[in-house]
């Protein structure tokens, strides 16, 4: 079990494309620790998105092997992300997951289109939709891997804290949860609400 006094920390800021992960990471984490973000790697090194993703995987592995505290921004949409969380937990990391959700892939797509209009990177609609559903599906598994989960809704561009869960118990909860959160949360967490 990770000792909060001596364990390195892994902060995972995750959720669908366009949910506002980068905003949260830049406001709360960038000054405190290195953050691995494939989008930033692609922008800063002018490599393709797949190459940036591979570079992010290598950087994660390097930080993990050195037991360094770090943050990681991801859609959490694939099985590899969950495998990495298992590795970090087995290596003694104290894991905090901040999941930022939005109600639909249509809203995600709209936000990405706005981002593209301002010169930032695009995500094809097909990939965005797949990632949207994958990240919600994987959210339920995060509770078995993380020590703390913070769930926020950004469906209105005004972040709303929905739930804080720590070491097996809900410690804070909004009076109502949006449908996407109710559908994605594991039954045992919903039962505590």
In the block, residue with structure tokens 């494309």: 17
Predicted TM-score of the model (pTM): 0.90
Q: Quick one: CATH architecture of 9-192?
A: 3-Layer(aba) Sandwich (3.40)
Work out the average pLDDT over 131-157: 94
Highest mean pLDDT among 35-44, 48-57, 159-168: 159-168
Quick check: 10 and 103 in contact, CB under 8 A? no
- Give the contacts of 81 (CB within 8 A, at least 6 positions apart): 14, 74, 75, 138
- Out of 4-8, 89-93, 125-129, 173-177, least confident range: 4-8
Q: What is the pLDDT of residues 125-143, one digit of tens each?
A: 898 899 999 999 999 999 9
Helix axes 79-90, 125-142, angle to 10 degrees: 30
Average per-residue pLDDT in the chain?
89
Tell whether the model's pLDDT for residue 19 goes beyond 90: no
């Amino acid at each position: 079990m990770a000792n909060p006094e001596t364990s390195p920390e892994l902060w995972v800021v995750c959720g669908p494309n366009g949910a506002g992960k980068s905003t949260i990471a830049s406001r709360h984490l960038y000054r405190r620790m290195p953050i691995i973000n494939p989008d930033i790697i692609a922008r800063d090194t002018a490599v393709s998105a797949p190459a940036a993703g591979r570079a992010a995987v290598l950087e994660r592995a390097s930080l993990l092997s050195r037991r360094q505290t770090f943050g990681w921004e991801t859609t959490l949409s694939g099985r590899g992300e969950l495998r990495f969380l298992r590795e970090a937990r087995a290596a003694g990391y104290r894991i905090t997951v901040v999941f930022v959700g939005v109600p639909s892939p249509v809203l995600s797509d709209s936000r990405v289109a706005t981002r593209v209009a301002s010169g930032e990177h695009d995500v094809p609609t097909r990939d965005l939709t797949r990632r949207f559903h994958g990240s919600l599906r994987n959210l339920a598994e995060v509770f078995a891997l993380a020590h703390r989960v913070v769930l926020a809704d950004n469906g209105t561009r005004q972040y709303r804290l929905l739930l804080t869960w720590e070491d097996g118990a809900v410690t804070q909860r909004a009076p109502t949860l949006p449908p996407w959160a109710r559908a994605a949360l594991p039954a045992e967490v919903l039962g505590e609400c």
